[in-house]
Amino acid sequence: MKTSKLSMVMNRAKSLKSLFAIAAIMVLSLGTAKAQKYAYVDTQYILENIPEYKTAQQSLDNLSLSWQKEIEDKYAIIDKLYKAYQAEQVFLTDEMKKRRQDEIQQKEKDVKDLQKQRFGYEGDLFKKKQELVKPIQDKIYNAVKKMATDQSYAVIFDKSSDLIMLYTNPKYDKSDEVLLAMGYKPAAKTTDSKAGTGTAW
């Protein structure tokens, strides 16, 4: 009986010791987490303050409009051919009808292929964007990475990404610091921009 009670006491002591050990680990973990430094940047704001990005964006917009007009012009030609065919088909032989239909269908296929080539996934516009914008994005990433390393930040969030940030304290916004590190002048801030921002539900 005494052995049984002693065993129970020892088991309880072991359990308490385990709980204290777990608690100690949790406290240490929390202490480590508190010691970590966090900040955020707004990459969209940074991009909008880089003249090269505005130039690249304008170039992409002009290119997109030019290619869109090229495609619309080709569709207009197809539309004319189709209307002409409809008006004249009563006078055409079966062979002539087939030839005209094939011509229209081929032109439709060609313009759809061109549309895909220009605006499709990894198409001409995508490649041009990679050529013009990606170097600027890489420059921002490298500046953020250097700042994080130099100032010992554990995590730097991007306010303009899909990540939902319910509240942001401007004190931890390092966007202007990144711009300055890249050699660009940040936009003038209004008084309201110094207040924290939040999302209401």
The pLDDT tens digits of the residues spanning 89-141 come to: 999 999 999 999 999 999 999 999 999 999 999 999 999 999 999 999 999 99
Percent of the chain with pLDDT over 90: 53
CA distance 116 to 138: 27
Parse the chain into domains and list their residue ranges. 37-45+134-198, 51-132
- Name the phi and psi angles at 100, rounded to 5: -70, -40
Higher-confidence residue of 94 and 27: namely 94
Distances (CA, A) of 93 to 73, 80, 85, 122, 173: 29, 20, 12, 44, 74
pLDDT digits (tens, 9 = 90+) for 61-92: 999 999 999 999 999 999 999 999 999 999 99
Q: Please report, as a single letter, which amino acid is at residue 165.
A: M
Q: What Rg do the C-alpha atoms of the chain give, in angstroms? A: 32
- The Cα 71–Cα 145 span in angstroms is 42
Would you say the C-alpha torsion 96, 101, 102, 108 has a positive or negative sign? positive
Which residue in this structure is represented by tokens 């939040």? 198
Q: pTM surpassing 0.85?
A: no
